[in-house]
Chain A
Amino acid sequence: MAKSFRGGVHPDDRKRYTAAKPIETAPLPDKVVIPTRQHIGAPCAALVKAGDLVKKGQVIAEAQAFVSSPIHASLSGKVVEVADYPHPVFGFCQSVVIESDGADEWVEGMPLSRDWQALDAAALKDIIRQAGIVGMGGATFPTHVKLAPPPEKPIDAFILNGAECEPYLTADHRVMLEATDKVVTGMRIVMKVLGVAKGYIGIEENKPDAITAMVAATKGTGITVVPLKTKYPQGAEKTLIKVILDREVPSGGLPMDVGAVVQNVGTMVAVADAVVSGLPLVERVATVTGGAIAEPKNLLLRIGTTFAQAVEQCGGFAAPPAKLIMGGPMMGMAQCRLDVPVIKGTSGILALSEDDVNAGEEKPCIRCGRCVDACPMGLVPSMLSILGQRGLFEVAKEEYDLLDCVECGSCVYACPAKRNIVHYVKYLKAQNAAAAAAKK
């Protein structure tokens, strides 16, 4: 029987638009806009200036900090500008604009062929860091940091998150089908780095072909495929660990507190490419979809491709979108413009129609309790929203566990009063952070 967890919601997964469509390589863009900040941690500083010639895979921005990740040119050509450009997460951000020379040439020495089994954990971790790999599910936490838990936190289980529980998105699904062996190689590399023998792949039941493919590809590797019930947020890190290992990450804790590390599917492909072929992270698969997209697709896109270029590749808009989102509809970020670039954490580009959004006027809470039933963290979201309206972050934190909210959005999805609970939670968290900063 497929495993599940307490809480959650069942939105229509809308994966039918793209689930059966093979990954299509987008044509080489004329120009890319590559932000120097594409990860959680210290921002990078640009190493190139206007006029410089760069090759694909060349480091163009770097930071000395441990919690950071270098940025590479995603095509060969000339740097035309280093300036602030629109960014899907940070508003505006320093970006390197590269005009393609059409040759799409790798830096010398790339690609290469390496036997990963001959490398030790430290060497593998260093390759992963240098390749600029971050969590590609959207969180963009540098992967080499996640693979270096402190010695007092022994890790005994590695989980690959193949749940892809966000509606609409099918990028991970297609990658598991089309790059099955790379995913397994990436997993085995990461398991070697972590020194763990137990590996798990959690996949929602709505992807039976991916389950079959992964079961076949993991025979004899010590990796177990775990079918999961199709329910959002099955792929949230804490729920995934609970479902697969029956361990609860403590309140305020991290997966490593219960001996687990969770990684995204796309990240595993990037790890395999980096370690086996010496290639840095310069492209990724993203699902371009939604009711307002003429022809939804799974695209292999260069980092720095603008959303406009990606949408154009899918036939443009069937109707003017009501909302443009980077990521999934439950946790993705709403965008206000089309000239933002695809970054390492762009798992999808959604253009939603009015019908998809199904918005409504926010009404007072009627205490129906649907949010309480939906909350996978066992909170009372209705109270958080009411406290949010009043700005009472201290009460929210002390009595209603504000900081345990993972902002999965299940409560908002379920709410008949259309309350913007996650909005209030973000506001309360910001208030709390500001108050904490003021105290220092």
Chain B
Amino acid sequence: MSAEAKMEIGQLTVSASPHIRCDESISKIMWTVNATLAPAALFSVYRFGVKALVTMIICIVAAVVTEYLIQKWQNKPVTVSDGSAFLTGLLLAMNIPSTVPWYMPLFGSVVAIAVAKHTMGGLGYNIFNPALVGRAVLLASWPVAMTTWPEMASKVDGVTSATPLGILKLQGYEKLVSVFGDKMEMYKSLFIGTRSGSMGETSALLLILGGAYLIYRGYINWRVPVFMIGTVGVLTWALGGHAGLFSGDPILNMLSGGLILGAFYMATDMVTIPITNNGQIVFAIGAGCLTVLIRLLGGYPEGVCYAILLMNSVTPLIDRWLKPAKFGARR
């Protein structure tokens, strides 16, 4: 028996334990997130037409190419295949109106990848969510184009080109409800996505389904969307009405604007949010509060983007403050 036993060992790897790893990888996570965004992205193409597809492709290609060029230039390993630059491009596209001229998404993607991501050191080191930085820069640079939303390609409800939150801000709640017909119609429209807005602001349903899958896979923490959307709901219900406390419409506020997209896909960006469960809850509640503050008192109708960016900036502080409960510390 031992005569035929093969005993060659070849090159043995000697390294610290452990010697086995799970099957997860960065690219698996990133491409899964991309895949779960696909239904909402395709829906916006269906709603807003080919122009939306073109804008989306510009965003993604610009993001990927920018990352490739920077990594080539810096003699770093090229990591465009890990799906994170693709995701930044896609998320930026979801955050802007489909009707903007071609150079805006291009510029936004370059800023997102080159400035927000690679000046910080690349994936894992960026403080701010790159896609949101891209959007913020575009909004500051071309405020009119960035807040002019298209008519729906297939008009069912006669929604005007202003977003629901825009109408709410400028013309009031009664006017908004009348645009949709009645309250239930409004909720239905917001939930399914037959309304105006940025490409990713439309179908709450598809975004929630995608996010739910990510929660199921353990790629995002359920606490973030639940606490962020919950905070917005409670605060707008309490403070958002004109008939005193608790006269606001929480459902309208939770379903409109970029809240669903932001809460499921950007406030959950693992690189830029706290690392512990408690830290993420603080982050989500903070982002929810800032969103409501901007919506109710700020100059913009929508505040999700800035709310998340502001909370990104305090993430290191939250991480230092809220560490996990150490084993053996309780005595």
Please report A residues at the B interface, Cβ cutoff 8 Å.
9, 11, 167, 238, 242, 248-253, 294, 308, 311-313, 315-318, 320-325, 329-338, 350, 352, 356-360, 363-370, 372, 375-380, 382, 399, 401, 404, 407, 409, 412-418, 420, 422-423, 426
Contacts and interface: CB of A to CB of B under 8 A. Distances in A.
A407 B17 contact: yes
Contacts of A370: 24, 218
Nearest to A424: B16
Given A248-B328, A416-B28, 4 more contacts: A317-B6, A323-B19, A334-B12, A364-B121
Given A357-B13, A380-B324, A404-B327, A332 B5 contact: no
A366 B5 CA distance: 45
5 contacts: A312-B7, A357-B19, A364-B122, A378-B327, A380-B323
Contact of A334 (B17, B24, B329, B331): B17
B327 A350 contact: no
B220 to A, nearest CB: 9
A320 B25 contact: no
Nearest to A375: B324
Contacts of B21: 357-360, 412-413, 415, 418
Contacts of A359: 13, 21
Contact of B24 (A350, A409, A416): A416
A352 B19 contact: yes
Interface string B4-32: 11111110111111111111111011000
B242 interface: no
Interface string B22-53: 11111011000000000000000000000000
B138 to A, nearest CB: 25
A331 B17 contact: yes
A102 B225 CA distance: 71
B62 to A, nearest CB: 22
B13 A366 contact: no
Contacts of A9: 22
A430 to B, nearest CB: 11
Contacts of A323: 12-15, 19
A418 B23 CA distance: 10
B124 interface: yes
B294 interface: no
Among all A-B residue pairs, the 10 with the closest Cβ atoms:
A316-B5, A409-B18, A364-B124, A320-B10, A423-B16, A416-B24, A251-B328, A378-B326, A330-B18, A316-B6
A168 B323 CA distance: 34
A332 B17 contact: yes
Contacts of A363: 26, 79, 123-124
Contacts of B319: 380
B1 interface: yes
B270 A250 contact: no
Interface string B299-331: 000000000000000000001100111111111
A399 B123 CA distance: 25
A352 B26 CA distance: 24
B239 interface: no
Contacts of B14: 323, 334-336
B275 interface: yes
B39 to A, nearest CB: 24
A316 B328 contact: no
Nearest to A336: B14
B47 to A, nearest CB: 32
B142 interface: no
**Best-surrounded residue of B79, B219, B320, B323 (most CB of chain A within 10 A):** B323
B271 A366 contact: yes
A324 B6 contact: no
Contact of B7 (A253, A316, A365, A366): A316
B48 to A, nearest CB: 32
Contact of A338 (B9, B26, B125): B9
Nearest to A248: B328
B2 interface: yes
B20 A321 contact: no
B141 interface: no
B214 to A, nearest CB: 12
A368 B276 CA distance: 9
A311 B7 contact: yes
